[in-house]
Amino acid sequence: MPVHVCRRHSSGLGDTSDRGALVTELGEQLRRRVEESSPGIVVGACGHDTTRREGGTRHVVNPRRVIPRSGTKTASRRPLDGGSAIVGCDWDQSPRPIGAARVLDQSATHLRELELASEDAGSDLFLTLDDVDYTFAQVWSDVEAFARGLRGLGLTPGDRVLVMLPNCIEAVCAWLGSERLGLIDVPVSEESAGASLRHVLSEADPRTVVGTADLLARIATESEGDALEHAVVVGEPGGSPFTDKVTYLTVAELLSQVGDYDLPALPSPSATATVMFSSGTTGPPKGVMMSHGYYGHALHAYDATAPLERGQRLYCTQPLCHIDPRMAIVQSIAARSSMVLKRRFSASQYWPDVEKYDVDGFLFIGAMLHLLAKQPEGPERGARRRLGMGSAIPPSIHASFSERFNVDLLEGYGMTEIYTVFCQYPDENEPGDVGRELPGIEVRIVDQDDRSVPAGTPGQLLVRPDNPHAHMQGYWRHPEATVEAWQGLWFHTGDLVRRLPNGRVEYIGRLKDSIRRRGENVSAWQVENIANQHPAVLQCAAVGIPADLGDEDIALFVVAKPDTALDVVELREALSKDLPRFALPRFIDVVPTLPKTPSERVAKAVLRQQGLSPEVHDFEVVVPSQQ
């Protein structure tokens, strides 16, 4: 059951009808307060041409005249096909007034905004995937066609559709098409396998799965549920790996199911849209329930955080099973801008792609910046300045990276459960902080007893929104975890932050037992749970240690069973069957004992302090063969 959290409500959860009425009442009060305050509407300082493609050439449609403001630059933009150039401009560096976002419409959803974009900017470029361009109108048409196909299979609102695909147009349509019908989409990483995948399948219990033939074969191996009825294969179908109980069909066959089915009205903001499984930082991965209004909130967050305008382009290499690229797509819808979505990150191909697609900005995680900075010097510095938006910027390379690649970097902080909380603004992007809280977000920094601490003092970050749909609805099928996370009706992030004298916030570290590995949050519990199943392992502990590329590397300390030979190479191979690649330990260190606390828990702080032994096995070091 979704748990809606409203500002300044602390009288308990109540029953569903009472809580729903309260949310509606408080939402209406907030709307009236916002209207009475008459906030300014953000107007971009740098106008851009609305464009369309015909015959392979991008043309100017109704160009606007603008007076550039300080910090705005213009540059010639050339279409990918070598056709006629159009006039564009760099991202708008002029400061935006904090809190000057457009009126927060709590009825907004991403699907309604995409439908509007298909009408008022239908011929504008929206997405580029696999070097194929798609307009707003084309994507909306494909999304509705996918929804009708799912309707033809007999799916009804609330059914789950698990999507396990690389970045491709089918992944976009499966995501948005499922939600258009009122279904719940469940995105899963391509790297998910073994026990990790089995857990998600068991929790989500989908009626339909969508994937490539090889990924569907993996799902068939791990699926144990009775609900699965349909499998939609993308690309070459091969033979069905499922039993006769599961209908196996191609995308073309799915779309042939459309018939005369009428689609229902667009789902309400309170309807569940997505269940995205977290990394399981304190136990097995939990499904984060995100409503249609959760995505709708991102439309408004765009006004404060994304200084991009209509006709500009973003570049992204992160997979759609993560929240960041999804929200970037939603923000592209809001701005009527476009996005290049690649299948995977390539350090050597990154800057050639940035120039090839003539993008104005890009998304990143900190580990990507390290890898890019380690690339040989080349002609990567563009003639015009670009914008990078992401998290975990390594302070040591912030200035040199910006100078070398001619980019401005904006850092933010967020989680899947609560989207973005803090972000840097274009005129406040110095290293060392994650910016200010977004409009409509209330934060507290507290001690271990949830008492507020003075500015400058580290404490745990607590968050709650004005909009009842802005944050997660709860954890799928885990109401007890939901209540624990929202103690006192404040979401407890488990992260340590500090308020700086300038009003911005510094991120310090985590209270949770998790490891940040190249942009992924890895559950130490999950790694340990699988390693402990090995017949030669008596006990183990996984910890994060600082990595050369930023974030952390995973070190697994293992105590072997008495009189048992433990082969660390074989152990890691066994782990690879049940863990995604990013969760595999780089180091395996066989030790005689593990340090313990008085309560007999592993003292991981002591392990980190002791460090690795000289006999540790490093799986990223290549040892020359002996001739």
pLDDT band of 377, cuts 50, 70, 90: confident
User: H-helix or E-strand containing 459?
Assistant: strand 459-465
Asked, for residue 313, whether it belongs to a domain, the answer is: yes
The mean pLDDT of 391-401, rounded to a whole number, is: 86
Give all strands (DSSP E) within 257-334, no chain letters. 272-277, 287-291, 313-316
* pLDDT tens profile 459-474: 999 999 998 999 999 9
The mean pLDDT of 195-207, rounded to a whole number, is: 95
Estimate to the nearest angstrom the gap between the alpha carbon of 225 and the chain centroid. Answer: 27
Q: How far apart are CA 472 and CA 6, in angstroms?
A: 12
Judge if 431 and 522 occupy the same domain: no
Given a contact cutoff of 8 angstroms between Cβ atoms, the answer to whether 364 and 519 are in contact is no
Asked, for residue 82, whether it belongs to a domain, the answer is: no
Judge if 400 and 477 occupy the same domain: yes
Q: How far apart are CA 218 and CA 206, in angstroms?
A: 15
Which among 339, 406, 397, 341 is positioned nearest to 369, based on CA atoms?
A: 397
pLDDT band of 621, cuts 50, 70, 90: confident
> How many domains, the chain?
3
> Comparing 241-245, 429-433, 455-459, 507-511, which segment has the lowest mean pLDDT?
507-511
Which pLDDT belongs to residue 95? 38
* Total Cβ atoms within 10 A of residue 199: 18
DSSP conformational letter for 226: S
Residue where the block lists tokens 């953000």: 42
Q: What CATH number does the domain containing 578 carry?
A: 3.30.300.30
Q: Which residue has the higher pLDDT, 12 or 484?
A: 484
Which pLDDT belongs to residue 606? 87
* pLDDT tens profile 149-183: 999 999 999 999 999 999 999 999 999 999 999 99
Q: Out of 486, 510, 534, pick the residue that ends a domain.
A: 510
Judge if 491 and 544 occupy the same domain: no
Q: In the Cβ-directed half-sphere of 209, how many Cα atoms lie within 13 Å?
A: 33
Asked, for residue 466, whether it belongs to a domain, the answer is: yes
Given a contact cutoff of 8 angstroms between Cβ atoms, the answer to whether 45 and 92 are in contact is yes
pLDDT band of 14, cuts 50, 70, 90: very low
* pLDDT tens profile 293-328: 999 998 877 666 666 789 999 999 999 999 999 999
Judge if 387 and 496 occupy the same domain: yes
Given a contact cutoff of 8 angstroms between Cβ atoms, the answer to whether 318 and 365 are in contact is yes
Asked, for residue 76, whether it belongs to a domain, the answer is: no
Asked, for residue 123, whether it belongs to a domain, the answer is: no
Q: How far apart are CA 581 and CA 316, in angstroms?
A: 21
The mean pLDDT of 341-347, rounded to a whole number, is: 95
- Angle (nearest 5°) at CA 384 between 379 and 385: 100
> What is the length of the chain?
627
Judge if 445 and 409 occupy the same domain: yes
| Sequence-distant (≥ 6) Cβ neighbours of residue 606 within 8 angstroms | 595
Judge if 211 and 308 occupy the same domain: no
Judge if 494 and 599 occupy the same domain: no
* pLDDT tens profile 28-57: 443 443 344 333 322 232 333 333 333 333
Which pLDDT belongs to residue 72? 29
Which pLDDT belongs to residue 143? 98
Amino acid sitting at position 257: Q
Q: How far apart are CA 305 and CA 386, in angstroms?
A: 15
Q: How far apart are CA 170 and CA 210, in angstroms?
A: 9
Which range, 4-13, 505-514, 522-531, 566-575, is most confident?
A: 566-575
Q: Mean pLDDT in the chain? A: 82
Judge if 460 and 319 occupy the same domain: yes
pLDDT band of 597, cuts 50, 70, 90: low
Q: How far apart are CA 263 and CA 260, in angstroms?
A: 10
Q: What CATH number does the domain containing 490 carry?
A: 3.40.50.12780
Which range, 103-117, 225-239, 271-285, 547-561, is most confident?
A: 225-239
Q: Out of 208, 236, 267, pick the residue that ends a domain.
A: 267
- Please tell me the pTM assigned to this model: 0.75
Asked, for residue 88, whether it belongs to a domain, the answer is: no
Judge if 289 and 233 occupy the same domain: no
Asked, for residue 623, whether it belongs to a domain, the answer is: no
Residue where the block lists tokens 């765009």: 302
Q: How far apart are CA 614 and CA 521, in angstroms?
A: 28
Cα distances (Å, whole numbers) of residue 143 to 3, 6, 108, 172, 248:
29, 32, 18, 8, 21
The mean pLDDT of 278-290, rounded to a whole number, is: 79
pLDDT band of 599, cuts 50, 70, 90: low
> Comparing 36-50, 160-174, 243-257, 482-496, which segment has the lowest mean pLDDT?
36-50
Judge if 458 and 548 occupy the same domain: no
Q: Out of 205, 232, 267, pick the residue that ends a domain.
A: 267
Judge if 436 and 348 occupy the same domain: yes
Judge if 159 and 251 occupy the same domain: yes
Q: List 132's β-bridge partners, or say none.
A: 129
Cα distances (Å, whole numbers) of residue 433 to 400, 413, 436, 504, 563:
17, 10, 9, 7, 51
The share of the chain scoring above pLDDT 70, in percent, equals 79
pLDDT band of 525, cuts 50, 70, 90: confident
Q: How far apart are CA 601 and CA 402, in angstroms?
A: 44
Q: What CATH number does the domain containing 196 carry?
A: 3.40.50.980
pLDDT at 509 over 80: no
> Comparing 92-101, 129-138, 349-358, 591-600, which segment has the lowest mean pLDDT?
92-101
Asked, for residue 406, whether it belongs to a domain, the answer is: yes
Q: Which domain does 418 fall in, by range?
A: 16-53+280-510
pLDDT at 388 over 90: yes
